[in-house]
Amino acid sequence: MNQGCDHLNTVNQVTPQTLGCAECLASGSWWVHLRLCRSCGHVGCCDDSPNRHATAHFHATRHAIIEGYDPPEGWGWCFVDEVEVELPDQTPKREPTPRYIDAYGRIIPSAIKGLKPPLT
């Protein structure tokens, strides 16, 4: 599964820096799923989220590999090579993680009430 990726040497054991997407928590926004930078422990939101902070973190830092973090998904992704990678381990979750999406992938309206951007 790691064919085509030369960035596995950048994978570290990390401690998630925040309980949710760092930028969304700071700005009062919401996310769909979380991604964890395996270089530094930054927690950002996925590309299905309104702000795509995990990808923005990659562009700002060039930290290549993220982990599917919330829910724990057991996969890694290399932004540079655009391939799924096998991680040497899975990062333990920090709790409590704020929830904006239910078990069926639907937005929880009461959880995002008053957050930005508003649901339209």
The string of DSSP letters for 4-70 reads T---GGG------SSSS-HHHHHHT---S-EEEETTT--EEE-TTSSS-HHHHHHHHH---EEEEEE
- Mean residue pLDDT of the chain comes to 90
Span 28-84, pLDDT tens digits? 899 999 999 999 999 999 999 999 999 999 999 999 999 999 878 889 999 999 999
Q: Report whether 100 contacts 30 (CB < 8 A).
A: yes
Say if residue 117's pLDDT is above 80: no
**pLDDT at position 44:** 98
Percent of the chain topping pLDDT 70: 96
The CATH number of residue 85's host domain is 3.30.40.10
**pLDDT at position 26:** 92
Residue 31's domain comprises: 8-112
The answer to the question of residue 118 being in a domain is: no
The answer to the question of residue 32 being in a domain is: yes
